[in-house]
Amino acid sequence: MYAIRSSATVCLVPEARRGPFVFHGDLSEAFKAIGDLGFDGIEIFPPSADSLNNDQISDLLTDNNLRLAAVGTGAGMILHGLSLSHRDRRARERACAYVRRIIDFASLFGAPAIVGSMQGRSGSGQTREQALANLMDSLRQLCVSASDRGVPVLLEPLNRYETDLVNTLQDGAEVCEKVRMGDLKLLADLFHMNIEEADIAQSIEIHAEHIGHVHFADSSRRAVGFGHTPMEPIVQALKKNGYKGFLSAEVFPYPDSRSAAHMTIGSFNRYVGWGGF
């Protein structure tokens, strides 16, 4: 039994409407489509925690038989320019407060928050080492909040065009080992890994103990099946190492949202097996 679960993303941030999310804008439509296709979970990319209504999300999850897989925090960067590695302490505190509110919300549903774009980057008079030290300081504080609520924090390595801090699972594992908080896990986004890793499956094998979530995307950042990433060895590496989290589609709505979701669940069933086992 592998208990790997399927999920797809919905983005509620108009400024990210061209971003790699399966559904955009309409929460009820996304929940229904994802539920109808038999996914196990849904991942939300909201403008902020305040924009989400607990009762509405709770009802949508129940009505569509879905679990909340994770909640993204990248809108803190897109909308407010927040960064967890900012050189200014007060700016970092604002970034931490923004992420903490998402941790509070997500944890109500047993879900983790994702730190991807919110890791920031070096520059503005800061070396990479200084920015990484600031990022780790912020992550330690967030892990304390998350651990109180029984959920992990997911740190996502991003490709070199988005950050110069954490690009690979190896970079992420080093951060996990230095932060030394068991609640810090890595998000393996197969799109970023296709750019940064020499061998995706091997990197997953090496760093499996740290992986808490996967963004399930093909080389083209379209649904798995619309690109050329060799998925079989990747899923085998996850299974072999007892991965029990979500494969969550964070992909462009190509050729449209429903087709991307349909292709994703077909690929999930093909590689993982019916029912996620």
* Binding residues for Mn ion (CB under 5 A): 189, 215, 250
Among 168, 159, 156, 166, smallest CA distance to 191 is for 159
Distance CA 94, CA 99 (A): 9
Q: Residue 43 binds which one of ligand LER, Mn ion, none, with CB within 5 to 8 A depending on kind?
A: none
Q: Residue 74 binds which one of ligand LER, Mn ion, none, with CB within 5 to 8 A depending on kind?
A: ligand LER
Looking at the Cβ atoms of 7 and 117, the one nearer to ligand LER is 117
Position 238, amino acid: L
* 218 belongs to the binding site for ligand LER (CB under 6 A): no
Structure tokens at 137: 């300081």
Among 257, 226, 208, 253, smallest CA distance to 4 is for 208
Q: Positive or negative CA dihedral for 9, 14, 15, 18?
A: positive
Distance CA 23, CA 249 (A): 10
* 74 belongs to the binding site for ligand LER (CB under 6 A): yes
CB burial of 42-69 (b: ≥16 within 10 Å; e: otherwise) equals: bbbbbbbbeebeeeebeebbeebebebb
Binding mask 96-135 for ligand LER (x = CB under 6 A): --------------------xx------------------
CB of 78 to ligand LER, least distance (A): 8
- Choose which of 4, 158, 211, 251 interacts with ligand LER (CB under 6 A): 158
CB of 98 to ligand LER, least distance (A): 16
Q: Residue 162 binds which one of Mn ion, ligand LER, none, with CB within 5 to 8 A depending on kind?
A: ligand LER
Which residues of the shown chain bind ligand LER in the complex (CB under 6 A)?
72, 74, 116-117, 156, 158, 162, 189, 215, 250
